[in-house]
């Protein structure tokens, strides 16, 4: 029954795309995020849904869509350069088979992010993509929130739609993405046109925000707590009553404390004392190993180069005997541990050139969103006053992602690459508006100059 529901919905979206090819782009976003082929049980698991949707999206844009206003930008060039560089490092990887496995999905994520801005030529399309991102992630977030409320949860114990701890279904990744999309969700409440302003829209946004905040609690993901803190700090910039906001956040946090399980407190305590947790201890060791590794291989070792690491570290182990607790320091040997940081993931796999391109890609996006906010923050026209708030939401989402990426290997996370595509689309849209306004102003100035000359000639 589940397979039939997904297949009917996908077939219906494909039919609608015959009249509106951009719908195939949104269909690919839905399939790539939710992965219905991994949720189903029978025939849907054998179908290459992502390939079909991408072929329809690209083919529809190429053959049927108007390309007026589409342009190739610097950030798309950075992603294209990163794509080719990843291809080169994959062909020269330390672990060719493992590298090929990761390459099989990374190139698709990068290629779609490069293609996506070419389709975002109108406000309706920008809004449609943003809504597809939010609602696709919301399906997972809502299910997670319901499980947490009904008593589920725990680190590594909270199962989502699929029994697979990878991609967006990895607990820390889902926590980062869920918190990062909260600003975009509330942009729709204030400025969205697809769903008109109504109390039901606000109620849904509030419930979805609550579910998103439950994700880090239910998964006990330490990165999620850091992302919530980052969101709170970023919201201070746009709060008109900051003291009241800080007080309200403090009261809300204190109110939630009695309802949190002891296991959550124990895991969050390792943020302040990483040496007492094996996972946190190995991260520092892996990062040090990566810095040593790129001294001999500055161009990187290709995907999954971390499999070459091997190190020892000292970790305190608590032992309880009755009422007495002692701490013994034991030496632990480990190997082939993942980077647990996108910065070191890029550094170890793609070397300094790859890390430079990745950082420039995201830092340029932050700067562009800041520039758009300052340019359009005083806009009062209904057709343009939505621009600055959307840039602010996308900037906050990117910053929250970067905070989470410091402690996770999610440098190529498809949802966040789509967010990059959305940023590029908004920036090019604003450039087109400015260009059109500039032409009108210059035309009006020329007409006024000609009229002035004619009046002067008549007077003479």
Q: Of 164 and 258, which is predicted with more confidence?
A: 164
To the nearest whole percent, how much of the chain has pLDDT over 70? Answer: 79
Q: What's the first-to-final CA gap in the chain, in angstroms? A: 86
Confidence grade of residue 291 (pLDDT, cut at 50, 70, 90) = very high
Asked whether the beta carbons of 308 and 94 are under 8 A apart, the reply is: yes
- pLDDT for res 420: 96
Measured in whole angstroms, the distance separating CA 277 from the mean position of its chain's CA atoms is 27
pLDDT at 245: 64
235: its two tokens: 């919201």
Given this model, what pLDDT does residue 451 score?
60
Distance CA(94)–CA(102), nearest Å, equals 13
pLDDT at 98: 92
Phi, psi of 128 (to 5 degrees): -65, -40
Half-sphere exposure (Cβ direction) of 374: Cα atoms closer than 13 Å: 5
| Total residues found in the chain within this entry | 460
pLDDT band at residue 167, thresholds of 50, 70 and 90?
confident
- What are the extents of the domains in the chain? 1-65
**pLDDT band, very low/low/confident/very high, at 159 (cuts 50, 70, 90):** low
DSSP state of 387: H
pTM: 0.87
pLDDT of residue 196: 84
* Main-chain phi, psi angles of 381, to 5 degrees: -70, 140
Mean pLDDT score across all residues of the chain: 84
pLDDT in tens, 345-356: 999 999 999 999
Confidence of residue 310 (pLDDT cuts 50, 70, 90): confident
Q: Which two tokens stand for residue 310?
A: 């091997």
Confidence of residue 75 (pLDDT cuts 50, 70, 90): very high
Render pLDDT for 92-148 as a digit per residue (tens, 0 to 9): 999 999 999 999 999 999 999 999 999 999 999 999 999 999 999 999 999 888 887
Between CA 436 and CA 432 the distance in angstroms is 6
Instruction: Report yes or no: 423 and 398 within 8 Å, Cβ to Cβ.
Output: yes
What is the tens place of the pLDDT at every residue in 391-403? 999 999 999 999 9
Which among 433, 423, 416, 412 has a CA at the least distance from the CA of 366?
A: 423
Asked if residues 404 and 176 have their Cβ atoms less than 8 Å apart, the reply is yes
Reported as a single tens digit per residue, the pLDDT across 26-50 is 999 999 998 888 887 778 888 888 8
At 94, list the tokens.
């330390």
pLDDT at position 340 over 90: no
Name, in order, each residue with C-beta under 8 angstroms of 376's C-beta and a sequence gap of 6 or more.
384, 385, 387, 388, 391, 430
The C-alpha atoms of residue 275 and residue 120 are separated, in whole angstroms, by: 47
Choice between 320 and 5, residue whose per-residue pLDDT is larger? 5
Query: Per-residue confidence at 383, pLDDT binned at 50, 70, 90?
Result: confident
Q: What is the mean pLDDT of residues 218-232?
A: 84
% of the chain with per-residue pLDDT over 90: 50
Q: How confident is the model at residue 311 (pLDDT cuts 50, 70, 90)?
A: confident
Residue 181 has pLDDT above 60, yes or no: yes
């Amino acid at each position: 029954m589940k397979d039939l529901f997904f297949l009917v919905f996908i077939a219906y979206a494909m039919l609608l795309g015959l009249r509106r090819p951009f719908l195939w782009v949104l269909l690919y976003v839905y399939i790539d995020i939710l992965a219905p082929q991994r949720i189903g049980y029978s025939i849907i698991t054998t179908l290459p849904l992502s390939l079909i949707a991408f072929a329809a999206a690209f083919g529809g844009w190429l053959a049927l869509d108007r390309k007026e206003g589409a342009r190739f930008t610097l950030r798309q060039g950075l992603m294209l350069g990163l794509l080719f560089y990843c291809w080169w490092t994959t062909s020269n990887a330390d672990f060719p088979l493992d590298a090929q496995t990761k390459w099989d999905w990374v190139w698709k994520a990068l290629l779609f992010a490069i293609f996506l801005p070419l389709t975002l030529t109108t406000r309706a399309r920008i809004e449609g993509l943003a809504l597809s991102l939010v609602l696709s992630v919301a399906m997972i977030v809502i299910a997670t929130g319901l499980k947490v409320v009904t008593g589920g949860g725990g680190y590594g114990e909270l199962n989502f739609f699929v029994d697979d701890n990878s991609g967006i279904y990895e607990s820390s990744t889902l926590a980062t993405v869920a918190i990062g999309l909260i600003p975009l969700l509330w942009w729709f409440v204030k400025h969205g046109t697809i769903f008109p302003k109504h109390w039901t829209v606000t109620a849904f946004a509030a419930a979805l925000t609550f579910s998103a905040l439950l994700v880090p609690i239910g998964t006990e993901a330490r990165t999620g707590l850091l992302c919530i803190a980052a969101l709170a700090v970023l919201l201070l910039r746009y709060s008109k009553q900051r003291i009241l906001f800080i007080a309200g956040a403090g009261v809300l946090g204190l109110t939630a404390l009695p309802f949190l399980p002891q296991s959550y407190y124990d895991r969050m305590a390792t943020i302040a004392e990483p040496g007492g947790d094996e996972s946190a201890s190995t991260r520092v060791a892996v990062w040090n190993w990566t810095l040593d590794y790129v001294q001999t291989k500055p161009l990187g070792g290709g995907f999954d180069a971390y499999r070459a690491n091997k190190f020892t570290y000292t970790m305190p182990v608590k032992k309880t005997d009755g009422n007495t607790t002692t701490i013994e320091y034991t030496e632990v040997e480990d190997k082939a541990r993942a980077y647990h940081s996108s910065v070191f993931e890029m550094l170890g796999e793609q070397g300094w050139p790859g890390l430079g391109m990745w950082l420039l890609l995201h830092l340029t996006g932050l700067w562009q969103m800041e520039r758009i906010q300052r340019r359009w923050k005083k806009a009062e026209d209904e057709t343009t006053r939505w621009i600055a708030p959307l840039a602010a939401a996308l900037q906050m989402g990117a910053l929250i992602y970067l905070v989470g990426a410091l402690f996770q290997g999610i440098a190529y996370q498809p949802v966040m690459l789509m967010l990059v595509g959305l940023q590029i689309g908004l920036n090019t849209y604003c450039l087109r508006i400015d260009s059109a306004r500039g032409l009108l102003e210059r035309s009006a100035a020329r007409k006024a100059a000609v009229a002035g000359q004619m009046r002067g000639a008549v007077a003479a």
